[in-house]
């Protein structure tokens, strides 16, 4: 009797169609949620931004040079020009450095060091934006001040240098992939025609990787345009169009993050901020769609790519092109370019070393047990850091708790269930692509309007966490998707051929194999959450904390925001250094952990254990 | 009048009974006696990948507990037909299938649950595709999928399957080690063991030896002759000697068509179709 009951139950539970359907529905929901989030941000921006732009009048808003909320004058021309200047400056610095550095890593670096070098460059990408800003103010500006006639190092030059270093890793990693993907036969063909190594690299390999390198530049532009905190800290903040390299100015992002303060939706200035975000968003969205057009084409149409490759392989065409190029290239320029590779590689390592060493050397001495762990929020006139550590951990916990399952579920849906050509799938993918490219300040503004005000959660750790959820879902989703796609098809086929259902196949074979990639994604997201500042500043709290937070509904200033605040309130320089050191160490440690754990897991998967 | 009514009543009642019965039988599909043996029958099979027709009106009857070989130049549809038999083609977008496919008398596209079908029709692929787990877990993957949890039972299955796949001596001391540490030939035999662990009635082998050295190839060939005592083996091979060595029946395909199908000896010594002759004497492919 008992037996039959048990049997009946297992049968019902394991009815394959219900179970499979249910699991698929859950994954689909996760993917849809990501798309809806993108759509919601989009709708919010347009619905709030356009009326307020219209109120000022489009032309007066975009081309007006005066931004003065006190007299109701909202012209963002100066900020737009500031953003454009910063982006161009960053591209000049980061593009040049990144390009040559990528060529070095792909073609000149000893094979053994290649991975290590790439990882070092990627460390630069993991350093929080506030630390760059802090480094810019306290180390770079005094140095640059010596060059300027007004004695101040703040301004376009400093922003370009810092932003350039910040976007360099993006450009390097994407360009290296493009360069590595060039068939060896192209390089060998050039060498066979008598080119030197450098002539072959710059004459044949680089041109063949042109589209990938261009895409990396465009992506870098997107990053630079959306960067907020570092820029806000070093640009100076004057609402004017800069006329030199050392003049205080503003960008669209700095305008929003420094001006929003306690404003609420409904306020005219708040509306103008959203209008500014609207323009920024459109700018960045267009850039990201361009990148997608560049790279997506190759991903989705392997046949087309194969055909194109065949064409480039046609030896006749190739040799003609190469010899033509060789005659057009005097030896000297090639030598200069090669030297550029080595110099750029050295500069990127130097930048990393300088930032890490300066921050640690100046920060570590200020770490004290009292300063760190006193729970009262302050001691003998100084601020303690513990309340912010707790707030950051709370944000980290809640946002990962929501974002990891959602992002992973969405990734599983898109890679294992969604039909390729399906219209809805395409829309979801585009939405996620857009969501991934949205500057963090726009998330902050959305979180402020929606979670803080519309949902009535107020400025709280909860609002901050939810905002962060939206921000990291695409990060986790996209890298998990890559990891899942990299799992050999054979595993799936093997499992299905044994009569396992799709869900079991995914959970028991596909996911375990994708684990290293998924883990990297989660650690990456962790680093981003810990270092994130702009969105949290607008949603979770932006001042020194007098006490530990007593729950998700209380205000909480994250570590990165605290660093910004310490720096702004000149009284807390020591605390600022200490906070910067902690932030940096955490980020570096996370990088180390991810590298090691992924290596171990991969070893295990390969069967060495 | 009343009598008639009565008979009508009886009739509807008996109808109801058979309905209930057939319902029960349908539910009983899980108990694995849907496929009564390992014979395979394909009737008028046509298959398209998008616009491309990969199988053209293929019909053949494959006997239970024999080794049948599919030969033909690459791209002629051997793997495609093989994958129809355990419905792996379901996974391919834009794949359209017509015709009737039966295993042990059951229409596999109509009445059988696809997972149950794949449990009964095992498959081993060209490249070994063991999971990144221990040897033990690899072998147990199938049995666990089908609900076996007891350790003693699983141990028994592992030993039996490895012995059947002639891998027991090589694997018994490293069951808990990763399966991916084994050599290519060993991995392929482990794949066979993994497939045997769910007690299939048919085993599909898609060029199982094409990536292996001659010694490993020999072992797998010996194995197939052992296996046919228990189940039906269908093997795709591009090696004609292999077909003559191990197959009872051989089917020759060309451009999606079944050109000739007969006893192996007959086909190789006395081919009916000139195209078969040209192929086996090495004129094309
Ligand atoms: N997934 C697929 N999509 C489109 N065409 C396919 C696919 N798989 C196989 N084909 C085509 O079908 C034909 C038969 O393939 P296949 O059965 O793999 O041949 P064989 O195993 O005999 O070498 C080939 O022309 C092949 O290009
Ligand atoms: Mg094949």
A186's CB contacts (< 8 A; 6+ apart) are A204, A205, A208, A312, A313, A318
A444 and A308, same structural domain?
no
Residue in B145, B179, B194 to test binding to A, most A beta-carbons within 10 Å:
B145
B54 lines ligand 1 (CB under 6 A): yes
In a domain, B193, yes or no: no
| pLDDT tens per residue, range A261-310 | 778 887 888 888 999 999 998 888 888 777 777 765 554 444 444 444 44
pLDDT at site A321: 55
Q: Which domain-ending residue is among A298, A331, A366?
A: A366
Q: Does A493 touch chain B (CB under 8 A)?
A: yes
pLDDT beyond 80 at A313: no
A521 and A550, same structural domain?
yes
B83 lines ligand 1 (CB under 6 A): no
B244's CB contacts (< 8 A; 6+ apart) are B264, B265, B268
- Look at chain B and count its residues: 285
Please name which of A270, A255, A214 lies closest in space to residue A81, comparing C-alpha atoms. A255
pLDDT at site A1: 39
pLDDT beyond 60 at A62: yes
Rounded to 5 degrees, φ, ψ at A245 are -80, -15
Reported ipTM? 0.82
Mean pLDDT (whole number) for A376-395: 78
In a domain, A29, yes or no: no
* Two structure tokens written together for A484: 């899942």
Provide the percentage of residues in chain A whose pLDDT is more than 70. Answer: 89
Separation in Å, CA B237 to CA A401, A488, A573, B221, B230? 51, 23, 75, 11, 21
A365-368, Cβ contacts within 8 angstroms, sequence gap of 24 or more: A366/A574, A366/A575, A366/A577, A366/A578, A366/A581, A367/A578, A367/A581, A367/A582, A368/A578
Query: In whole angstroms, what is the distance from residue B1 CA to residue A151 CA?
Result: 118
pLDDT at site A16: 62
The CATH number of residue B211's host domain is: 3.40.50.300
Contact B71, B245 (CB under 8 A): no
Contact A172, A105 (CB under 8 A): yes
Confidence class of residue A168 from pLDDT cuts 50, 70 and 90?
Answer: very high
Neighbours of A124 (CB within 10 A): 21
Contact B123, B207 (CB under 8 A): no
pLDDT beyond 90 at A92: yes
The count of domains in chain A is: 2
Query: In whole angstroms, what is the distance from residue B127 CA to residue B188 CA?
Result: 8
A18's CB contacts (< 8 A; 6+ apart) are none
Query: In whole angstroms, what is the distance from residue A413 CA to residue A30 CA?
Result: 8
Mean pLDDT (whole number) for A79-90: 93
Beta-bridge partner residues of B235: B69, B205
Q: Which domain-ending residue is among A366, A386, A402?
A: A366
A500 and A469, same structural domain?
yes
In a domain, B253, yes or no: yes
pLDDT beyond 90 at A476: yes
**Is the CB of B194 less than 8 angstroms away from the CB of A608?**
no
Mean pLDDT (whole number) for A48-70: 86
Hey, which residues 44-73 in chain B have their CB within 8 Å of chain A?
A: none
In a domain, B156, yes or no: no
More confident residue, A395 or A304: A395
Mean pLDDT (whole number) for A307-324: 48
Provide the percentage of residues in chain A whose pLDDT is more than 90. Answer: 38
Contact A460, A540 (CB under 8 A): yes
A595 and A495, same structural domain?
yes
Contact B112, B121 (CB under 8 A): no
More confident residue, B46 or A247: B46
pLDDT at site B259: 95
A520's CB contacts (< 8 A; 6+ apart) are A479, A483, A594, A598
A413 and A324, same structural domain?
no
Which portions of chain B are predicted below pLDDT 70? 1-33, 283-285
Separation in Å, CA A401 to CA A282, A342, A398, A452, A583? 31, 44, 5, 20, 22
B93 lines ligand 1 (CB under 6 A): no
Query: In whole angstroms, what is the distance from residue B187 CA to residue B166 CA?
Result: 12
A337 and A392, same structural domain?
no
pLDDT at site A466: 96
pLDDT beyond 80 at A14: no
Neighbours of A308 (CB within 10 A): 13
In a domain, B167, yes or no: no
Which among A10, A421, A607 has the least Cβ separation from residue B178?
Answer: A607
pLDDT at site A324: 53
Confidence class of residue A333 from pLDDT cuts 50, 70 and 90?
Answer: confident
Please name which of A149, A164, A166 lies closest in space to residue A244, comparing C-alpha atoms. A149
Q: Provide the domain limits for residue A332.
A: 79-257+283-366
* Two structure tokens written together for A317: 């065409």
- Look at chain A and count its residues: 609
pLDDT at site B15: 45
Q: In sequence order, which ranges of A486-572 are alpha helices (DSSP H)?
A: 489-497, 502-505, 511-531, 534-539, 559-568
pLDDT at site A306: 46
Neighbours of ion ligand 2 (CB under 5 A): B 79
pLDDT at site A384: 78
The count of domains in chain B is: 1
Q: Provide the domain limits for residue B264.
A: 36-131+199-280
pLDDT at site A68: 85
Confidence class of residue A378 from pLDDT cuts 50, 70 and 90?
Answer: low
pLDDT at site A11: 42
pLDDT at site A302: 45
In a domain, A17, yes or no: no
Mean pLDDT (whole number) for A90-101: 95
pLDDT at site A608: 53
In a domain, B118, yes or no: yes
Q: Which domain-ending residue is among A366, A388, A405?
A: A366
pLDDT beyond 70 at A13: no
Beta-bridge partner residues of B260: B252
Q: How many CB pairs under 8 A join A and B?
A: 84
Rounded to 5 degrees, φ, ψ at A313 are -75, -20
If one residue of B46, B75, B76, B259 were mutated to test the ligand 1 pocket, choosing by the most ligand atoms within 8 A of its CB, it would be: B75
pLDDT beyond 60 at A317: no
A279's CB contacts (< 8 A; 6+ apart) are A62, A76, A80, A252
Confidence class of residue A603 from pLDDT cuts 50, 70 and 90?
Answer: confident
pLDDT beyond 70 at A97: yes
Confidence class of residue A607 from pLDDT cuts 50, 70 and 90?
Answer: low
pLDDT at site A2: 40
Mean pLDDT (whole number) for A225-245: 88
Separation in Å, CA A206 to CA A187, A191, A259, A354, B39? 10, 14, 44, 30, 59
Separation in Å, CA A307 to CA A301, A311, A312, A420, B50? 10, 6, 9, 21, 20
Beta-carbon-side half-sphere exposure of residue B270 (alpha carbons within 13 Å): 4
Interval between CA B200 and ligand 2 midpoint (Å): 22
A531 and A411, same structural domain?
yes
pLDDT beyond 60 at A52: yes
In a domain, A169, yes or no: yes
In a domain, B144, yes or no: no
The CATH number of residue A417's host domain is: 1.10.3720.10
In a domain, B79, yes or no: yes
Contact B203, B168 (CB under 8 A): no
Neighbours of B77 (CB within 10 A): 23
pLDDT at site A460: 94
From the number of C-beta atoms within 10 Å of its C-beta (0-12, 13-18, 19+), residue A380 rates as exposed
**Is the CB of A609 less than 8 angstroms away from the CB of B119?**
no
In a domain, B159, yes or no: no
Nearest Cα residue to atom 9 of ligand 1: B80
């Amino acid at each position: 009797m008992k037996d039959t009951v048990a049997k009946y139950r297992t049968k019902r539970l394991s009815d394959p169609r219900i179970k499979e359907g249910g699991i698929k529905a859950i994954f689909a929901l996760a993917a849809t949620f990501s798309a809806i989030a993108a759509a919601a941000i989009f709708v919010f921006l347009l619905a709030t931004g356009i009326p307020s732009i219209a109120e000022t009048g489009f032309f007066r808003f975009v081309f007006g040079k005066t931004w003065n909320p006190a007299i109701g004058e909202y012209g963002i021309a100066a900020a737009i020009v500031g953003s454009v200047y910063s982006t161009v400056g960053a591209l000049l610095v980061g593009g040049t450095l990144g390009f040559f550095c990528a060529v070095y890593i792909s073609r000149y670096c000893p094979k053994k060091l290649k991975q290590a070098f790439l990882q070092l460059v990627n460390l630069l990408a993991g350093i929080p934006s506030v630390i760059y800003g802090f480094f810019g103010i306290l180390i770079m500006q005094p140095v640059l001040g010596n060059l300027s006639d007004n004695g101040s190092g703040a301004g376009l030059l400093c922003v370009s240098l810092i932003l350039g270093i910040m976007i360099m890793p993006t450009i390097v990693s994407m360009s290296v992939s493009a360069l590595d993907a060039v068939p060896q036969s192209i390089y060998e063909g050039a060498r066979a025609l008598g080119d030197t190594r450098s002539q072959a690299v710059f004459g044949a390999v680089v041109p063949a990787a042109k589209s990938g390198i261009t895409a990396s530049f465009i992506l870098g532009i997107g990053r630079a345009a959306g960067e907020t905190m570092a820029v806000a800290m070093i640009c100076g903040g004057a609402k004017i169009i800069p006329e030199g390299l050392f003049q205080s100015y503003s960008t669209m992002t700095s305008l929003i993050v420094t001006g929003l303060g306690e404003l609420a939706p409904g306020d005219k200035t708040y509306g103008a901020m959203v209008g500014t975000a609207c323009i920024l968003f459109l700018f960045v969205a267009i850039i990201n769609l361009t990148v997608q057009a560049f790279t997506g084409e190759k991903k989705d149409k392997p046949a087309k790519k194969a055909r194109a490759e065949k064409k480039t392989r046609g030896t006749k065409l190739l040799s003609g092109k190469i010899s033509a190029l060789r005659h057009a290239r005097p030896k000297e320029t090639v030598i200069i370019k090669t030297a550029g590779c080595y110099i750029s590689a050295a500069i990127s390592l130097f930048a990393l070393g300088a930032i890490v060493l300066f921050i640690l050397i100046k920060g570590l001495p200020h770490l004290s047990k009292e300063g760190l762990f006193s729970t009262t929020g302050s001691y003998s006139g100084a601020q303690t850091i513990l309340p912010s550590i707790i707030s950051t951990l709370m944000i980290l916990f809640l946002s990962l708790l929501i974002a990891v399952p959602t992002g992973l579920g969405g990734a599983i849906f898109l890679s294992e269930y969604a039909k390729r050509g399906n219209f809805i799938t395409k829309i979801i993918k585009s939405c996620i692509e857009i969501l991934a490219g949205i500057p963090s300040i726009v998330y902050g503004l959305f979180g402020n309007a929606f979670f803080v005000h519309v949902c009535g959660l107020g400025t709280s750790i909860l609002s901050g966490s939810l905002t962060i959820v939206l921000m990291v879902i695409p990060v986790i989703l996209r890298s998990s998707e890559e990891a899942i796609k990299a799992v050999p098809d054979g595993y799936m086929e093997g499992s299905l051929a044994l009569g396992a259902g799709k869900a079991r196949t995914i959970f028991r074979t596909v996911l375990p194999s994708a684990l290293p990639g998924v883990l990297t994604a989660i650690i990456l997201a962790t680093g981003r959450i810990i270092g994130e500042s702009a969105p949290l500043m607008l949603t979770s709290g932006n001042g020194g904390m007098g006490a530990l937070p007593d729950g998700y509904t209380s205000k909480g200033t994250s570590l990165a925001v605290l660093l910004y605040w310490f720096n702004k309130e000149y009284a807390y320089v020591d605390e600022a250094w200490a906070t910067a050191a902690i932030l940096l160490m955490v980020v570096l440690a996370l990088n180390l952990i991810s590298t090691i754990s992924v290596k171990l897991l991969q070893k295990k998967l390969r069967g060495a254990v | 009048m009343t009598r008639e009514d009565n008979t009508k009543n009886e009739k509807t009642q008996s109808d109801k009974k058979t309905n209930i019965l057939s319902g029960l039988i349908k539910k009983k599909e899980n108990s694995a006696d849907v496929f009564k043996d390992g014979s395979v029958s394909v009737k008028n099979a046509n298959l398209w990948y998008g616009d491309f027709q990969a199988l053209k009106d293929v019909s053949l009857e494959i006997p239970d507990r024999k080794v049948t070989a599919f030969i033909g130049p690459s791209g002629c549809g051997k793997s495609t037909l093989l994958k129809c038999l355990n419905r792996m083609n379901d996974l391919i977008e834009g794949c359209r299938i017509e015709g009737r496919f039966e295993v042990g008398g059951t229409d596999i596209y109509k009445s059988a649950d696809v997972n149950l079908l794949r449990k009964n029709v095992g498959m081993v692929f060209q490249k070994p595709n063991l999971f990144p787990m221990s040897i033990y877990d690899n072998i147990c993957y199938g049995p666990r999928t089908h609900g076996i949890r007891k350790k003693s039972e699983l141990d028994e299955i592992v030993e039996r399957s490895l012995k059947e796949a002639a891998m027991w001596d090589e694997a018994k001391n490293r069951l808990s080690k990763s399966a991916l540490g084994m050599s290519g030939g060993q991995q392929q035999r482990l794949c066979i063991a993994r497939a045997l662990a769910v007690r299939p009635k048919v085993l599909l082998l898609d060029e199982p030896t094409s990536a292996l050295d001659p010694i490993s190839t020999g072992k797998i060939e010996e194995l197939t002759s052992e296996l046919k005592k228990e189940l039906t083996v269908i093997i795709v091979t591009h090696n004609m000697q292999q077909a003559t060595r191990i197959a009872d029946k051989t089917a020759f395909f060309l451009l999606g068509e079944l050109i000739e199908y007969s006893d192996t000896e007959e086909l190789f010594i006395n081919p009916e179709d000139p195209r078969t002759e040209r192929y086996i004497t090495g004129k094309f492919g």
